[in-house]
Amino acid sequence: MNSKKPVIFVVGTTASGKSQWALEMAQNLSGSIVNCDSIQLYKSLDIGAAKPSREEMAIVPHYLYDYVPEGATMTAGNYSRDFFPCLENLPENHPVFVVGGTGFYFQAIEKGMYPVRQTPSGIQQEIAEILKTEEGAKKLYEEFQKIDPEAAQKIHARDHYRLGRAMELIRAEGKSVTQIQKEFSEAQAPFPYPLLKIGLRWDREVLRERVRLRTQKMLDAGLVEEVEVLLSRGLGEWPALQSVGYKEVLEYLRDHKSREWLFENIIQNTMGLAKRQRTWFQRDSEIHWFEGDSGLTKALAEVQNFVRESL
């Protein structure tokens, strides 16, 4: 383990203030910031991604922001392969704040990427045929419950995609999904740096107000114009533009919606995203949660202790 490079994950929902808080911490502790947001890594997605400004990025070193070309598509695997060389090149004896709300990316760098197994086409076709009828799907789910009751609790009987994928794996590998995942976890090397996980959260109504204010700020800063420029470059089908904030602007422009519709839909869908992020991060019992402005002061003390002990 590299004991001279403490890493602090700064997680939470969108609009929780992670970037600003991490900037202040990195400034106080002579640290660096590494992006772990799946949209802020793209070039040309600035306003809608709530990317730190160039002025903020000049205060302390920022990495893995604004580096993926227009039109490209990133995955958690791509990100993980970029992350570790980045960290290796950062200076010793200085903390690194890894900031974002993309839980799957955090999981990829901490736990590793679960290998995507390609099952034989014969098995895929067999499962697809069974799932064509309600009766077939019902019997397949009952089989799944008998073979792997633990995994079956996490997949709804009507989620035919995940049910089919699980049963393909079971038939191809000759073992349960739970056993496959257990073997994968046991084979993973531990995260190679001292690690502290900090989570920032707010009361739901307070968060909604923060989202409302940020949405207005984005629109005032030219979010619609940012999307219009991207459309003029032929990027209307870029998958990154299906992220919250951008997809609503695309619909607003395409269907001639009202400005009020745009404002309210961005807020509504941002709150939906926040709920999904909260659900993801709440599963991790190692995250130290801090709430509201008063919590940020307590979080600072915890980070300072962690950095001191790590160095």
- Are 72 and 126 within one domain? no
Residue ending a domain, choose from 171, 187, 203: 187
3-state secondary structure of 33: strand
Going by pLDDT thresholds of 50, 70 and 90, the confidence category of residue 1 is: very low
Are residues 127 and 65 both part of a single domain?
Answer: no
CB-neighbour burial class of residue 73 (10 A; exposed 0-12, middle 13-18, buried 19+):
exposed
For residue 301, give both structure tokens.
């003390």
Long-range contacts of 129-136 (CB under 8 A, 24+ apart): 131/160, 131/163, 131/164
pLDDT at position 130 is: 96
pLDDT at position 186 is: 78
The answer to whether residues 209 and 272 belong to one domain is yes
Q: Give pLDDT tens digits for 68-96.
A: 999 999 999 899 999 999 999 999 999 99
Q: Are 299 and 9 within 8 A, CB to CB? A: no
- Hey, what's the torsion of the CAs at 64, 65, 71, 75, to 10 degrees? 40
Q: Are residues 212 and 289 in the same domain?
A: yes
pLDDT at 3 over 60: no
> Of 161-170, 246-255, 288-297, which one has max mean pLDDT?
246-255
Same domain, 102 and 171: no
Residue 149 has pLDDT above 90, yes or no: yes
Share of the chain above pLDDT 90, in %: 88
Give the span between the Cα atoms of 83 and 88, in whole angstroms. 9
Last residue of a domain, one of 166, 187, 208: 187
Cα 116 from Cα 109, distance rounded (Å): 16
pLDDT tens digits, 235-268: 999 999 999 999 999 999 999 999 999 999 999 9
Query: What is the maximum span of the chain, computed from C-alpha positions, in angstroms?
Result: 62
pLDDT at residue 22 is higher than 90: yes
**Average pLDDT score, the chain:** 94
State which residues form the domain around 180. 121-187
- C-beta atoms surrounding 142 within 10 Å: 12
**Within a domain: 260:** yes
Q: Report the alpha-carbon distance of residue 102 to residue 14 in Å, rounded.
A: 9
Q: Give the separation between CA 107 and CA 282, rounded to whole angstroms.
A: 13
CATH of the domain at 139: 1.10.20.140
Contact 106, 9 (CB under 8 A): yes
Domain final residue pick, 164, 187, 210? 187
Within a domain: 1: no
pLDDT at residue number 116: 65
Read off the pTM.
0.84
Domain count, the chain: 2
Give me the residue label for tokens 């056993």: 179
- Residues 26-46 have a mean pLDDT of 97
pLDDT band at residue 65 under the 50/70/90 scheme: very high
Long-range pairs for 151-160: beta carbons < 8 A, 24 or more residues apart: 151/176, 151/177, 151/178, 160/131
Instruction: Give residue 297's pLDDT.
Output: 87
- Helix (H) or strand (E) segment spanning residue 4: none
Banded model confidence at residue 2, pLDDT cuts 50, 70, 90: very low
- In this structure, which amino acid lies at residue 110? E
Which pLDDT value is given to residue 115? 65
Using N-to-C axis directions, what is the helix angle for 204-221 and 223-232, rounded to 10°?
Answer: 60
Q: Please name the helix (run of DSSP H) or strand (run of DSSP E) that holds residue 107, with its range, or none.
A: helix 103-111
Residues 21 and 96 placed together within one structural domain of the fold: yes
Q: Is residue 204 part of a domain?
A: yes
pLDDT at 183 (0 to 100): 86
Determine the average pLDDT of the residues in 159-186.
90
Please check whether residues 11 and 153 belong to one and the same domain: no
In this prediction, residue 180 carries a pLDDT of 87
Q: Give the tens place of pLDDT for each residue, 95-128.
A: 999 999 999 999 999 988 766 667 899 999 999 9
